[in-house]
Amino acid sequence: MDKKSKQKLHNSNFIEACDNAVNGIIYATTTQSNIKKQLVIAVIVMILSLFFNLSKAEFLCLTFAVFFVIFSEMVNTAIETVVDLYTDKYHPKAKIAKDVGAGAVVLAAINAVIVSYFLFFDKLSFIGTTVLESVMNSPMHLAFTALILTIILVVSLKAANITKGIAKEKFIPSGQSAIAFAALTAICLNTNNIVVFTLALIMSLLILGNRMENNSRSVVEVIFGACIGVLIVVLVYGLTVLRM
């Protein structure tokens, strides 16, 4: 193996490592139908969680359970890929590796079902005005839900573009801009502290400038991504207010 090939096996810096990690998530999303279904379920669960009086600990358990299922599916995909790399023929040990990976996904799914049961079963009969009022009194819950939905939407959009064969130079919204401005909007809606808002605004603008300066995304892609982040947070808060 030559020197150039060896260098490709390692990330040269933290930014490259993050980019490769995102590429791995997008690959799994575009190639694995199970992950696509799990992302849809994750969106539905996060939206439904807005209508339940979940404590911080309960919301944390729910978020962990949702992401743990997706994490397990990605690990299973990695195991299957490595096994297929080494052999394309049937082998008992290869079967064991794939079966164990699939078993991990099943256990994660069972865990998610159990967590959902204990979180939602006793609350199903209490959906109504009282629950909606409790949601309105939980701005942090709304903020984190909006951020999670933003991340899922960004990944889904990129995955959809890649699935359709759209090249990198084509229009793909900036995910970092979407997340940055989703966080900025959530901060704006939850604080009256002008210093905190100003610092968050500066950080968001720096992220936008960085994406355009590195030619990672065009101006339109960066602005469109920022608008997506703002829109999702506003919709989450707005729909909750309308239901009240």
Which of 77, 108, 126 marks a domain boundary?
Answer: 126
The CATH number of the domain holding residue 90 is 1.10.287.3610
Question: Residue 100 is which amino acid?
Answer: V
Active-site annotation holder among 58, 73, 133, 213 = 73
Identify the residue with better confidence: 162 or 156.
156
* Model confidence pLDDT, tens digit, residues 115-157: 888 887 766 655 544 544 554 555 667 777 777 888 888 777 7
Output the pTM of the full model: 0.56
Q: Select from 100, 126, 152 the last residue of a domain.
A: 126
What does the alpha-carbon distance between residue 215 and residue 228 come to, in Å, rounded to a whole number? Answer: 20
What is the pLDDT at residue 68?
Answer: 92
- pLDDT for the residue 240: 63
| Average pLDDT of the segment spanning 88-101 | 83
Catalytic site residue 73?
yes
For the stretch 171-225, pLDDT in tens is 677 788 888 888 888 888 777 778 777 888 888 888 777 777 766 667 788 888 8
Q: Same structural domain for residues 183 and 104?
A: no
